[in-house]
Structure 1
C-alpha cells in the first residue's frame, strides 16, 4: 500500500497491483481459509459461515470508504491511510490473538479446552486422516474437485468484470448493474449460514453439485434477462450461489484430506482459482469483439458449471486406506 501511494508510472503500477493481488487475494484469502479449519471439525461449516461475514461486510464497506478517502484526502493519501491502519490495527491483533492450531494452546478443535476420554474419536464424515499433497494428487477426487474450485472463480470474475456492459447491451443501464452487485452481497450473507449448517450434516460433494446447479440457473437467467425483474431474479440466484460456494469450496479440502497438510493442498487450489479468475473475463471480451454482444459468451461458459456438476457428483470423500494413507492427525 505504501508502494502504491508513490506510483509514478506503469511499471510501478504493475508491481504494486501484482503485490496487492499476490498478498491480498492470494495470501490473505488462503491464510484464514486454512486457519479456521484447524480449529473446528464438527462445527467447521458454521465456523466458516461466521468468517464469511467479514467478506460480505468488507464488500459493502470498503468501496464507499475508499471513495470517501480519495475524495477527502486524495488517492495517494488514501493508500497511506489504509497501510497505516494495517500496521496499527491488524498486525497487533494478529500477533496477540491468532494461533495456528488448538494444540498450540493445549486445546482440542471445536472449543474443547482439554482432551477427555473419547475425544480422539470424532464422529461424522470429516476425515481426521492426514493426506500429503502427493497422496491427495493420486486420487481422482482431488483433480475433479480442483476443476470444481476453478469454475466459480472463472465464471464469477467474467460476469463481474462485464456486468455493466452486459446490462447496457440489454438496455438496462449502469444503475441496474450496481443494484445486481448490491443484491448479490445482501443475499449471499445469510446464505452462508444455511450452507454452513448443511455442510455440517451432509456430504460436501452434494452441496458442491447444488452450487453448480445454481451457477447454471443464474447464467440461464442472465441470458434471458431483458427487464429489471429478471435482472433482480438473476441477482438473487447469483447471490445465493456465492453464499454456497464460499463455504463449500473452503470446507471440501479439510473434510476430504485432513488438516495437517492443508496449507500445501489449499495453496495449489488457490493457485488454480487465481488462474481461473485471471482467464475468466478474456472469452467474454473475445466473444464481444466477434459477435458484438455477450449472449454467445454466456452460452459458451455454461459448459464449465455443467461439467462441474457431473464431477462433483462423482467425487465422494476418498477412502484413505484404498490409497495407503493411514497417518492420523
Structure 2
C-alpha cells in the first residue's frame, strides 16, 4: 500500500519492545525496591499501574479518532514524549499522590504507543495482508519483559529506583521518539480534507457510530472483554493457584514462565488458524480451548508436567487472543475508520484486563480458594464461548 514507509514495521517492533518494557513491565520489577525505600505496600504501588491502564482505556477512544484523522507520526511521537515525562515524574514523586499522577500520565502515553495504535497502523499499511505483520509485531512485543526486566532489575540494584527511572526515561526517549518521528506517516494519503464540509464529517462520524452501536459490535466487545478478564485473572495468578494444590514454588515459577512460551506458540499459530477459519469460528475455538485449559488448571492435581502443559495451553489461548483482538474489527467491518472502531473495541478490554490481576486474588479470598476462582473464570469463559456464536 502507498502509505507504508520502508522500515516502518521494524521501527514499530523496536518501539513496541521499549514502550512495553519501560511503560508497563518496569513497575512490576521495581515494586519490591520501591516498597523497601518508601514503606508503601505492594498493593498500593501496583494499583498505580492499574490506574494508568484504566486511563489508557479511556484515552484510547480519542487516540483512535485522532489516528484516523491525522496519521500516526505526531500522535505516537507525542505519546513517546509523554512517556518520558511520566518516567521522570515517577523518579521525582515525593509521595503516593504524585506517584499516581506519574502513572496517570504513563496511561496517557500507553494509549498512544502500545498495541492498539500500533495494530491500527499495521492494519492501515498492510490491508488484506495484515495478519503476518501483526503476528510479527505481537511476537516481538512479547519479548519486552524478557529483554527489559533484567535490565530494569540491574539498573535498580546499581543506582536505586529513582535514578533508574531517570535512566529509563532517557532510554525510552532515545529509542522511541526518533523511530516514531522518522518512520511513521505524517498524514494518511487519503485523509479527509481539512476543508471537508460539516456534512461530510457528520456522515463519517455516523458511519462509525452505526458500527460501534450495533448489537453485533456491542456483543463482540462484551465477549472479548470478559474473555480477556477470565484468561488474565487465572494465568497471572497461576503461581498461587498451583501451589495451593501442593506444587513447589520453584516448579510453579516454571509453569508461569512456560505460560509465556505458550503465548508465543499461540501467536505463531494464529496465521494458520486465520486462513482456515472464519472470524466467528476462530473466536469460538480460541475461547473454547481457553475455557478447557482454565478448568483443567483449576482441578488437575498432578503430575506437575501435566499442569505445566495445561499452563502452556492457557498461554496459547492468551497469545491467540492478542491477535484476535487486533483483527476482530477489521475482519468484520473492514479497515475504513479502523482506528476509531478498534479503539472503541479495545477500551473495555484494556479496562477489564487492568482489573484482572487484583480481582483474581480478591475472588480467591471471597471463595476460599484459588481453585474455585479458577473454576469460576472457566465457567465465565464457557458462557463467552457460547455467546461468540453470535459475533
Same fold (TM over 0.5): yes
The correspondence of residues 1-329 of structure 1 with structure 2, limited to 5 A, is: 1-24=87-110, 27-99=113-185, 103=189, 132-227=207-302, 228-281=304-357, 283-315=359-391
**1:130 Cα shift?**
11
Q: Which runs of 5 or more structure 1 residues have no equivalent in the other structure? A: 106-128, 316-329
Compared CA separation, residues 60 and 99, structure 1 to 2 (3 A) = same
CA gap of 1:245–1:287, structure 2 versus 1, over 3 A, is closer
The count of residues paired between Structure 1 and Structure 2 equals 292
Output the TM-score relative to the length of structure 1: 0.80
**Paired residue for 1:319?**
none
Tell me, yes or no, if the aligned pair for 1:33 and 1:250 is still in contact at 8 Å: yes
CA deviation after TM superposition for structure 1 residue 41, in Å: 2.5
Distance in 2 (CA, whole Å) between partners of 1:281 and 1:189 is 21
TM-score (normalizing by structure 2): 0.68
Contact 1:167–1:176 (CA under 8 A) maintained in structure 2 = no
1:111 aligned residue: none
Deviations 1:273-295 (A, max 9, x none): 12212333455334433343122
CA shift for structure 1 position 138 = 4.2
Change (3 A) 1:145 1:53: same
Contact 1:254 1:262 in 2 (8 A): yes
**Which stretch of the first structure deviates more once superposed, 272-281 or 62-71?**
272-281
C-alpha contact 1:154 1:277 (8 A) present in aligned 2 = yes
TM-aligned CA distance change 1:25 to 1:173, over 3 Å: farther
* Cα distance in structure 2, aligned partners of 1:229 and 1:100: 51
Q: What does the per-residue CA deviation read over 1:130-181, in whole Å, with 9 as the maximum and x for residues that have no partner?
A: 9833111343321121012202331233124433322332221332332123
**Contact 1:52/1:192 (8 A) holds in 2:** yes
- On the 8 A contact 2:260/2:312 being kept in 1, the answer is no
C-alpha displacement at 1:104, in angstroms?
Answer: 6.9
Change (3 A) 1:163 1:8: farther
Q: 1:314 deviation in Å? A: 1.7
| 2:239/2:256 contact within 8 Å kept | no
Deviation at 1:26, TM superposition (A): 6.9
User: Is contact 1:211–1:244 with CA below 8 Å preserved after alignment?
Assistant: yes
For the residue of structure 2 that corresponds to 1:40, the secondary structure is helix
For residue 132 of structure 1, give the secondary structure of its aligned residue in structure 2.
helix
Cα pair distance change 1:307/1:262, threshold 3 Å: same
Q: Identify the range of structure 1 (205-214 vs 144-153) with the bigger mean alpha-carbon deviation.
A: 144-153
Q: Give, in whole Å, the separation in 2 of the partners of 1:140 and 1:5.
A: 45
The structure with more helix, counted as a fraction of residues: 2
Distance in structure 2 (CA, Å) of the matches to 1:189 and 1:281: 21
**What is the RMSD of the two structures over their aligned residues, measured on CA atoms?**
2.5
The separation in 1 between residues aligned to 2:117 and 2:186, in whole angstroms, is 10
